[in-house]
């Protein structure tokens, strides 16, 4: 059975995309910890991140670095946290969260976001990516 991320990637479910290439996508999470919280997801459905090929692992990190730089420009944050948790969806995904303090990475603070706010945040990040 396809994961929810595979369904978003296939266009069967809506997603707020900020990046898409042959190997991965990046979308706004519907339950952000902070504004600008992104998920970087390989198109190939791989449950455990340590089962990724070396090439795919390196690619996800390179894309994450580009996205983190855009997030820093948009959110003026001290850091962008990168976390791989994987308990909620059995499809590898990297969380990129703009943070200023340790408490900013507490998943207990995640709240459902409305589509309009996700669209707005995605647009900000895409513009920052385009500006380089």
> Which of the residues are catalytic?
93
Measured between alpha carbons, how far is 132 from 128 in angstroms, rounded to an integer? 6
Rounded Cα distance, 108 and 130, in Å:
32
Instruction: List helix spans (H) across the chain.
Output: 4-9, 54-75, 115-131
Q: Which of 26, 32, 39 is nearest to 96 (CA)?
A: 39
């Amino acid at each position: 059975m396809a994961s929810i991320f595979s369904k978003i990637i296939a266009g069967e479910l809506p997603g707020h995309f900020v990046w898409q290439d042959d190997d991965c996508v990046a979308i706004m999470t519907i339950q952000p910890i902070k504004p600008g919280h992104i998920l970087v997801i390989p198109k190939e459905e791989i449950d455990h991140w340590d089962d990724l090929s070396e090439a795919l692992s390196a690619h996800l990190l390179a894309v994450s670095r580009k996205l983190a730089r855009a997030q820093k420009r948009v959110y003026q944050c001290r850091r962008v946290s990168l976390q791989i948790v994987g308990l909620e969806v059995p499809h590898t995904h990297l969380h990129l969260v703009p943070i200023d303090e340790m408490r900013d990475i507490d998943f207990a603070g995640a709240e459902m976001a409305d589509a309009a706010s996700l669209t707005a945040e995605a647009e900000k990040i895409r513009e920052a990516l385009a500006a380089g």
